[in-house]
Amino acid sequence: MPAASPPTTTLGYALFATRWLQAPLYFGLVAAQGVYVYKFFNELWNLILRCVTGQADETYVMLAVLKLVDVVMIANLLIMVIVGGYETFVSRIGLQGHRDQPEWLSHVNSNVLKVKLATAIVGISSVHLLQMFVDVHHTSHHSLLWGTVIHMAFIASAAILAYMSGPMAEQGHRSGKGHAEGA
């Protein structure tokens, strides 16, 4: 195969360098993570105050704890997007061998990231749906129905993404192996 001409190579490198335009977006998500840290501690403080002053019944405590779980799950989703997205689309972070490297980061790619995000969204949706059912007396039947339908749509989407990523990953593995054998 002939080598690419210098203008083509330069254009390709310039296009490849545009991936760095995404870096500020990931730092923006870090700021959003800070907002969720504030929200978590604000919710926790309100829960503690209401429990100490005797203003919290069992339903309130359960709903408040579910809100805290929801905030943590959204924060986990943000971390997956920030770290996994940066590693996949911008630049390697270079955590190999670091004792705190997340297990999933060693084999992250866009398919794995999509499936992880979809399953995280299902988890967040589950918590929201559980909140609705715990507070069923204050939730309309219409909201319960649509919450359940939307949750089922998230489950179906995650299952389809997981199913589709299997054959795609297998095909990518086979084509990578074929290139290595042909070299």
Q: What percent of the chain stands above pLDDT 70? A: 88
Q: How confident is the model at residue 178 (pLDDT cuts 50, 70, 90)?
A: very low
Average pLDDT over residues 106-130: 86
**Measured distance CA(75)–CA(41) in Å, rounded:** 13
pLDDT reported for residue 35: 96
pTM value is: 0.74
| Lookup: tokens for 177 | 């192996």
| Lookup: tokens for 121 | 């969204």
**Measured distance CA(176)–CA(38) in Å, rounded:** 45
How does pLDDT run across 32-69, given as a tens digit for each residue? 999 999 999 999 999 999 999 999 999 999 999 999 99
